[in-house]
Amino acid sequence: MKSRKLWAALAAAGIIGGSGFMAYQLSYAGLPAQHVELDHKAVPLFNNPPAAAVQTAAVGGPNFSTIVKEFGPTVVHINVRGETTTTSADMTQVPPQLRNSPFFQFFQQFQNQQPREVPTEGLGSGFIISSDGLILTNAHVVKGAKSVTVTLTDRRTYKAKVLGYDTKTDIAVVKIPAKNLPTVRVGNPANLDVGDWVLAIGSPYGFYNTVTAGIVSAKSRSLPDDDMVPFIQTDVAVNPGNSGGPLFNTKGEVVGINSQIFTQTGAFQGLSFAIPINVAEAVAKQIIQSGRVEHAKLGIAVQTVTQQLANSFGLQTPRGALVANVSKDSPAAKAGLKAGDIILSVNGEPVNDSADLPMMIGLMHPGQAVKLGVWSNHRESTVTATLGSFGSNMVLADAGPGVNGHGLGLQVRPLKPTEEQQADVHHGLLVENVSGPAQEAGVQSGDILLAVDGQPVDSVQQVRSILKSAGKTVALLIQRGNNRIFVPVEMG
């Protein structure tokens, strides 16, 4: 059987000066991590006045033209610019027979092997959720961008500010300095039925405000590496550049955000996936109100219940999520869950498949108490667990302003346990991107920030707190490989 790949349905992006389009894999490789400033001001979200339902034709299917006229102006085109690091020519473009040639290898040694930044450009879509310029899009559209430009349907163009993004759910919020903008109306994805008509608007391959339509093919799809989102599957034509654009129902309500396609060619092949708007709304509210996104965790590994396993555990039908492992000191362990238990429901909602559980738990709040219906020892019981936190999955960008208002220019995140072990450290922050003063001082992506002005740091909040009382120059303790060095950074 031929292998299949999921490709992210974002814009074609290529090295400036080149030509053609490039599709991006689900890993969202491409533009580097971004320097963004977080706006912690709470802004009302999805609090738009109700609008009259769009009328659809009684005969011959939905009247899509009415929806487009009414809500087409709420869809925007997003252009992102960034940089990627390269050290030499792309060897993958050289035929293997030439790559192994002694003459080719001889000349390769004279090429410049110094890393260099190459400009990149990408395209995507988004839609306006508040009249003062808040826009919803995909995280993979803006992740790594050095600059983001938004173009409205009337061709007005604005420089956009990325308020933040969450990579686990692929949601991002950006803001433009505009007022009295048209806004979308939000629907309920739960009211969608398989077979319902849906409509997408976006910028595939840079063609602004392209409209495509189809039907809902399936609901609550789980995709590889995206176990927290119950995707809406459609057969709406979605191509690179549609990412971040809205999926409308026949009432003109947004029910999803077009995010990914299933393809063997890099282009549309009849399978597209949208993030339910209720998932996006919950994440966007966290980004706008607190500048971070937290997901809950139970602390277990689960697997699918097959008929054979159901028979073994005395369950009549194969359903639920079989607990394969329980993490030590996790919420699940404290609640008494153990390997071999089968979780059948969460707060009364049935868990039909193991893929349902991560979605249900991950979109809840840390600290929330949940009632789990559990099949254990050939009988069903109820267990209450208090959920823990996965921590922030949003890339927190600039480490904060100094006393003079200028940013340090570091995008950092907490170290994972495996990264701490590899680096042989017990605290610190991983530098994911660097610009401005820190870049000029010699800090690089991949460095570990251990301390600021002699004070150890474990969080972005600590860095910001230290910088508030810092002078014009701060000393960063950086670990690079096995070496540690203090790097003075001029803040002014």
One-letter amino acid identity for 242?
Answer: N
Q: Is 140 a catalytic residue?
A: yes
Query: CB-based contacts of 165: which residues, under 8 Å, 6+ apart?
Result: 139, 142, 143, 171, 172, 173, 287, 394, 395
Catalytic pick from 125, 130, 217, 243?
A: 243
Instruction: Supply the DSSP symbol for 49.
Output: P
Task: Report which residue type is found at 207.
Answer: F
**Catalytic member of 125, 130, 166, 170:** 170
Q: Is 378 a known ligand-binding residue?
A: no
Query: Which DSSP symbol is given to 329?
Result: T
φ/ψ of residue 41, rounded to 5: -70, 125
Cα–Cα distance list, 52 to 49, 55, 66, 84, 254 (Å):
10, 9, 12, 47, 14
H helices of 143-239, where?
Answer: none
* Residue type (1 letter), 213: A
Q: Is 431 helix (H, G, I), strand (E, B) or coil?
A: strand
Instruction: Give 32's DSSP letter.
Output: P
Amino acid code (one letter) for 348? G
- Tell me how far apart the alpha carbons of residues 89 and 112 are, in angstroms, rounded to a whole number: 9
243 flagged as catalytic: yes
- 3-state secondary structure at position 160: strand
**CA pair distance 353, 356, nearest whole angstrom:** 6
Catalytic residue among 125, 140, 272, 447: 140
- Is position 166 annotated in a ligand binding site? no
The answer to the question of whether 140 is labelled as a binding residue is yes
Check whether 170 is labelled as a binding-site residue: yes
CA distances from 387 to 24, 84, 121 (A): 35, 39, 40
Residue ranges of the binding site for substrate: 140, 170, 241-243
Q: Which residues form the catalytic set? A: 140, 170, 243
Instruction: Mark the binding-site residues, compressed into ranges.
Output: 140, 170, 241-243
